[in-house]
Amino acid sequence: MFDLQRALTSEGVYQDLVRRVASVKLKRASEKGSHTYHHARLQLWHENPPADALVTDIASGMTGVSQASRAKFVLRCSRLMIYFGGSGCFLTCFLTDDITLKSDGNKLMLVPTKYKGGLVKSPKTVKACTRGSEISKGGFRLDKEKISPGEEYSFEDFSYIHINFKDTEHLNKFQKLWNEMMATRRLERARIRAQRQQLEATTWAPLAVS
C-alpha cells in the first residue's frame, strides 16, 4: 500500500506508529472546549518525487521539466498524518518552523513557535487540515491532486495539538525523526536560496566588453 502511495503522490511514509498513541487532544482556536480522540495512528510523510517524472508547474515557470531539475529549486515538504481510530477522519499538517514540539512525560505538544526579535512575526496558531467526521469518512484521491503546502493558508487554526504516547520510547523516536526532517528542510532551504541567488547573478551579469 505504501509503495502505491509513493508512486501516485510522490510521498513516502517514513514512520508509521500503530497502537502507540493513547490519545490526541485538539484545541481549535475558534472554540472554547477541546476534542480528545483515542487510539490514534501517527505517520510522518516526506515528498520524494521520482527523478524521471515530468511536471508542469506554470506558477513557477517550470513547464515540462524533470522532477530532478525542479527539485533543485523547490523545497520538498514533510507532513504529519493523524488518523483517528473509528471516527473516519484524519488530521494533517506540514512540518514547518512555525510549529514547535514540546514534551512533558509521555505527552508531545505541537504549539505555535515564538520567534525572538521582531524580524519574523510569531504565528498565533498551528495550521492543520482535518478531513471527515463521525458520519463521513475523510480522504483524498491518490490519483488526483493532493493536499499541498499552497493550501496551508486555508487550513484550520489550532491553539495546540497534544499527542499522548503510551511510552516515552516511541515519543522519542517520533520527535527524533521530526527534528531530522526539519533539519533537512532547513539545509534544503539554504541550498535552494544559494542556487537561486547564483542563477540570478548569472542571468543578470553584464556582458564582457572586449
CATH number for position 130: 2.30.29.30
Decide if 198 is inside a domain.
no
Decide if 207 is inside a domain.
no
Decide if 60 is inside a domain.
no
Decide if 204 is inside a domain.
no
| 123: CB partners within 8 A, 6+ apart | 98, 112, 113
Q: Does residue 108 register a pLDDT over 70?
A: yes
Q: Does residue 91 register a pLDDT over 90?
A: yes
Among the listed residues 65, 50, 75, the one whose alpha carbon sits nearest the alpha carbon of residue 191: 75
pLDDT digits (tens, 9 = 90+) for 45-79: 998 765 544 444 444 444 444 555 555 677 889 99
Query: Please, what sign has the CA dihedral across residues 40, 41, 46, 47?
Result: negative
β-pair partners for 40: 84
- Quote the pLDDT of residue 50: 52
Confidence grade of residue 3 (pLDDT, cut at 50, 70, 90): low
Decide if 68 is inside a domain.
no
Decide if 56 is inside a domain.
no
Cell of 197: 541567488
| 202: CB partners within 8 A, 6+ apart | none
Q: What is the 3-state secondary structure (H, E, C) of 100-168?
A: EEEEECCEEEEEECCCCCCCCCCCCCEEEEEECCCCCCCCCCCCCCCCCHHHHHHCEEEEEEEEEECCH
155 or 144, greater pLDDT: 155
pTM above 0.75, yes or no: yes
Among the listed residues 124, 105, 103, 104, the one whose alpha carbon sits nearest the alpha carbon of residue 113: 124
Confidence grade of residue 98 (pLDDT, cut at 50, 70, 90): very high
Torsion of CA 127, 132, 44, 16, to 10 degrees: 150
φ and ψ of 208, to 5 deg: -70, 140
Domain count, the chain: 1
Decide if 78 is inside a domain.
yes
C-alpha distances out from residue 70 to 58, 64, 133, 142, 201, Å: 12, 10, 37, 21, 19
Measured in whole angstroms, the distance separating CA 22 from the mean position of its chain's CA atoms is: 22
- Quote the pLDDT of residue 201: 78
Among the listed residues 25, 24, 23, 28, the one whose alpha carbon sits nearest the alpha carbon of residue 159: 28
Q: Does residue 152 register a pLDDT over 70?
A: yes
Cell of 190: 539554504
- Which H helix or E strand runs over 61? none
Q: Does residue 170 register a pLDDT over 50?
A: yes
Decide if 200 is inside a domain.
no
Q: Which domain holds residue 128?
A: 1-48+73-190
